[in-house]
Amino acid sequence: MAEASGKQVRCSGGHSAFVPDPLPPAEKTKRGTPRKRTERQSAPEGRLQVTKESLQNTIEELKTSKEETQSLNEERQTVNSELQGKIEELSQADDDMANLLNATDVATIFLDNDLRIKRFTAQATGVIRLMQSDVGRPISEIVARLDYPTLVQDAGQVLKTLSFKEIEVKAEDGTWYLMRILPYRTAENMIDGLVITFVDVHRLKKVEEELAYANAALQRDIAERIQVEASLRRLVTVVMDSNDAVTVQDLEGRITGWNRAAERMYGWSEFEALAMNIRDLVPDDLKDDELKLVHALADGERIASFETRRVTKEGQILDVWLTATQLVDEVGKVTAVATTERDITERRAAAEALERLNHELDQKNKELESLLYVASHDLWSPLVNIKGFSGELNKACKTLPSLVADAQLPEDLKEQLTIILDQQVPRALESIVAGVTKMDTLLAGLLRLSRLGQASLQLEQLDMNTMLADIVKAAEFQVRESGATLQIDTLPLCLGDATQINQVFSNLLDNALKYLDPARSGLIRVRGHQEGGRAVYCVEDNGIGIAPEDQDRVFEVFHRLNPEGSATGEGLGLATVRRALDRQGGKIWLESQPGKGSRFFVSLSAQV
Ligand code: ADP
């Protein structure tokens, strides 16, 4: 705006007024040559009038101008103060915004359309260590500070689609943030880059993780519960279908559970039983004992299974094998007792019958043993006679040939007698002597076997190392003859009758030597160990072995697997061994493989 020339002066009213300067002298010459005095004098008034009017107009115009200027000034002042107000508002809004952003703790980064950092809030320095020098850098250069490799693509996508993107990201320090990428809209709804915000969701994430963990635990718990319930259902079915009577009673003895087997065994239906007390099933003479038992169970005592009696609906007494179990609540307090009862009436009768039979068998065995003893003993004396007389007969027969030769007998008779005396009689006598010798050993064996049953036992602690050393010494010749290697380990002590145990191990060692395989050098080993309260010994050889089908039969009397073989024996050794061990609570068994060898195990009490 062109400025009017002049100066402002203060008016009395305080308003400034514009007063024109008197024309300068140069101006006056420019405007024209001053008119002659005469002309001025001829139209002085007219011209003056014109000038006056013109001046008047100019003054008027100036006045108007001044007023306009004044009002313009006023307007400018108003606009100025409005502008000032707006600037203050804007700075207030800016402060508010900065405070708001600080208060919300939301880290914010502003990007331009080229994805370069325009500015950021203070919180952003904490999240991705932004510095003032990062302003202007492309976001792609600092993306590595976040565990978010597709940030640049996603930011580009938001810029393209104007949609927003939300994702959880982990910063370098491990903190989780909810990251939002939004288009930056200007007041004119123009897109001017992007805004990226980071909200700290670490605690939320932690809670989420804990929740997920708790949820997984809950799921497991539920799965377990489902399993428990399923197995409980199975258990109930098993209990209900069990062949044993299963009953449940509270601590006053009131029946609260009764399965089908209990119905069958005792005759009361479940409905009836649930109105009864367990005492109704207990015979009178046992009632007090059973009450004590329930009290003991209620006190948490463990009771081993035991045999007792129960009364059926029909009044029949049953022998039962009872197992009682406490049922406890969640704090371990006994609330009820479950019992399993098995009817053993028949089994018991069978066991009694077996016991009777065993007793009878024992008696018969004893009778047989004494019969055997008497028979073998009584047969012994005639045998001794036969043995003696056959010897004498043999002697006598040896003199006969010379007598016949000297006798006056016809030649053909002599010839016949010579054949009889030279061949038939010696052969017959030889057979008699062999038979007698065989019978002698058999009778000796039988006598030993029968004496075993008769002999009184003297149980004592046995030092098996000494005993084996004695046995080996006695068999020294046989061992040397066989060429076998004998190894005796350190043996544990045991309880037994010294004579009979000596017989046992002598027999086993004798057999091990007798039944070695000539195809390989013999190896015999005796070892032993303690197992619980028992001493277990093993006599092992690498001999001919015993076929599986013969392994039980070798303990039978007179049972020989290879009677024609070179080994001598009467098939009584192992029978004697078993009998001896039976009498003192010992056991014998074997493991063997034909062609490889045998192991005979002996178990005896180790307790003294
Ligand atoms: P025997 O007097 O015949 O040895 P035993 O009662 O001692 O009688 O043995 C019965 C049979 O068991 C023997 O004839 C033999 O065939 C077999 N036997 C016993 N011990 C052994 C062994 N260690 N190895 C192979 N066979 C054996």
Strands 523-531 and 485-488: parallel
**Which stretch of DSSP H or E encloses residue 487?**
strand 485-488
Check pocket membership of 516 for ligand 1, CB cut-off 6 A: no
- Evaluated on CA atoms 426, 427, 432, 438, the torsion sign reads positive
Q: pLDDT grade, residue 492 (50/70/90)?
A: very high
Centroid of ligand 1 to alpha carbon of 26 (angstroms):
169
Say which residues have a Cβ less than 8 Å from residue 102's Cβ, sequence separation at least 6. Answer: 121, 122, 123
Specify if 469 maps to a domain: yes
Q: pLDDT grade, residue 42 (50/70/90)?
A: low
What span, in angstroms and rounded, lies between the C-alpha atoms of 146 and 171?
5
- Note the pLDDT of residue 43: 63
Centroid of ligand 1 to alpha carbon of 588 (angstroms):
14
pTM of the model: 0.47
Same domain for 601 and 469: yes
- Average pLDDT (405-418) is 87
Q: Looking at the 3D structure of the chain, how many domains does it have?
A: 5
Q: pLDDT grade, residue 255 (50/70/90)?
A: very high
Would you say residue 467 has pLDDT above 90? yes
Specify if 71 maps to a domain: yes
SS (H, E, C) 268-318: CCHHHHCCCEHHHHCCHHHHHHHHHHHHHHHCCCCCCCEEEEEECCCCCEE
Centroid of ligand 1 to alpha carbon of 560 (angstroms):
6
Specify if 208 maps to a domain: no
- Note the pLDDT of residue 15: 41
What span, in angstroms and rounded, lies between the C-alpha atoms of 258 and 246?
6
What span, in angstroms and rounded, lies between the C-alpha atoms of 9 and 453?
162
Same domain for 62 and 37: yes
SS (H, E, C) 143-198: HHHECCCCHHHHHHHHHHHCCCEEEEEEECCCCEEEEEEEEEECCCCCEEEEEEEE
| Residue 484 belongs to domain with CATH number | 3.30.565.10
Centroid of ligand 1 to alpha carbon of 387 (angstroms):
28
Same domain for 464 and 426: no
- Note the pLDDT of residue 40: 46
- Average pLDDT (169-177) is 85
Would you say residue 509 has pLDDT above 90? yes
Q: Give the domain extent around 92.
A: 1-102
Question: Are 532 and 494 spatial neighbours (Cβ–Cβ below 8 Å)?
Answer: no
- The 10 Å CB-count burial string (b at 16+, else e) for 62-91 is beeebeebeeeeeeeeeeeeeeeeeeeeee
Check pocket membership of 511 for ligand 1, CB cut-off 6 A: yes
Check pocket membership of 541 for ligand 1, CB cut-off 6 A: yes
- Note the pLDDT of residue 354: 93
Instruction: Choose the residue to mutate in 515, 516, 556, 581 for probing ligand 1, maximizing ligand atoms within 8 Å of C-beta.
Output: 515
User: In this predicted model, what pLDDT tens digit does every residue of 52-100 receive, in sequence order?
Assistant: 888 888 888 888 888 898 999 999 999 999 999 898 888 888 788 778 7
Higher pLDDT, 493 or 568: 493
Strands 587-593 and 523-531: unpaired
Which residue, of 83, 102, 121, is where some domain finishes?
Answer: 102
* 599 phi/psi in degrees, rounded to 5: -130, 120
Q: DSSP class of residue 33?
A: P
Which residue, of 281, 310, 343, is where some domain finishes?
Answer: 343
Would you say residue 26 has pLDDT above 80? no
Check pocket membership of 544 for ligand 1, CB cut-off 6 A: yes
Instruction: Choose the residue to mutate in 511, 516, 555 for probing ligand 1, maximizing ligand atoms within 8 Å of C-beta.
Output: 511
Atom 11 in ligand 1: residue holding the nearest Cα: 560
Centroid of ligand 1 to alpha carbon of 442 (angstroms):
16
Would you say residue 7 has pLDDT above 60? no
Centroid of ligand 1 to alpha carbon of 606 (angstroms):
27
Check pocket membership of 576 for ligand 1, CB cut-off 6 A: no
Specify if 207 maps to a domain: no
Instruction: Please report the atom of ligand 1 found closest to the CA of residue 562.
Output: 16
Same domain for 595 and 463: yes
Instruction: Please report the atom of ligand 1 found closest to the CA of residue 572.
Output: 6
Same domain for 566 and 467: yes
**Which stretch of DSSP H or E encloses residue 241?**
helix 202-241
Specify if 77 maps to a domain: yes
Same domain for 472 and 419: no
Say which residues have a Cβ less than 8 Å from residue 364's Cβ, sequence separation at least 6. Answer: none
Check pocket membership of 598 for ligand 1, CB cut-off 6 A: yes
Centroid of ligand 1 to alpha carbon of 571 (angstroms):
7
Check pocket membership of 570 for ligand 1, CB cut-off 6 A: yes
Instruction: Please report the atom of ligand 1 found closest to the CA of residue 569.
Output: 2
Check pocket membership of 562 for ligand 1, CB cut-off 6 A: yes
Atom 12 in ligand 1: residue holding the nearest Cα: 554
What span, in angstroms and rounded, lies between the C-alpha atoms of 214 and 551?
65
Instruction: Please report the atom of ligand 1 found closest to the CA of residue 600.
Output: 23
Mean pLDDT, the chain, whole residue set: 86
Q: DSSP class of residue 551?
A: T
| Long-range contacts formed by 58-61: CB under 8 A, 24+ apart | 58/20, 59/20
Check pocket membership of 571 for ligand 1, CB cut-off 6 A: yes
Q: pLDDT grade, residue 400 (50/70/90)?
A: confident
What span, in angstroms and rounded, lies between the C-alpha atoms of 329 and 251?
13
Cα 280–Cα 283–Cα 284 angle in degrees, nearest 5:
95
- Average pLDDT (227-252) is 85
- Note the pLDDT of residue 530: 94
| Sheet with strand 587-593: strands edge to edge | 485-488, 523-531, 534-541, 597-605, 587-593
Tokens in use for 218?
């809950």
Same domain for 600 and 460: yes
Question: Are 580 and 503 spatial neighbours (Cβ–Cβ below 8 Å)?
Answer: yes
Specify if 119 maps to a domain: yes
Same domain for 591 and 460: yes
Tokens in use for 547?
């076929």
- Alpha-carbon 107 to chain mean position: 50
| Residue 275 belongs to domain with CATH number | 3.30.450.20
Strands 523-531 and 534-541: antiparallel
Instruction: Please report the atom of ligand 1 found closest to the CA of residue 574.
Output: 6
Same domain for 438 and 477: no
- Note the pLDDT of residue 2: 36
> For the residues of 103-117, what is the DSSP string, one character each?
HHT-EEEEE-TTSBE
Same domain for 557 and 433: no
What span, in angstroms and rounded, lies between the C-alpha atoms of 559 and 75?
144
What's at 406, amino acid-wise?
Answer: D
Would you say residue 299 has pLDDT above 50? yes
Which residue, of 102, 128, 149, is where some domain finishes?
Answer: 102
Same domain for 468 and 595: yes
Instruction: Choose the residue to mutate in 438, 514, 540, 598 for probing ligand 1, maximizing ligand atoms within 8 Å of C-beta.
Output: 514
Same domain for 73 and 160: no
What span, in angstroms and rounded, lies between the C-alpha atoms of 338 and 242?
14
Question: Are 158 and 165 spatial neighbours (Cβ–Cβ below 8 Å)?
Answer: yes
Q: pLDDT grade, residue 30 (50/70/90)?
A: very low
Cα 466–Cα 472–Cα 477 angle in degrees, nearest 5:
155
Specify if 92 maps to a domain: yes
Specify if 217 maps to a domain: no
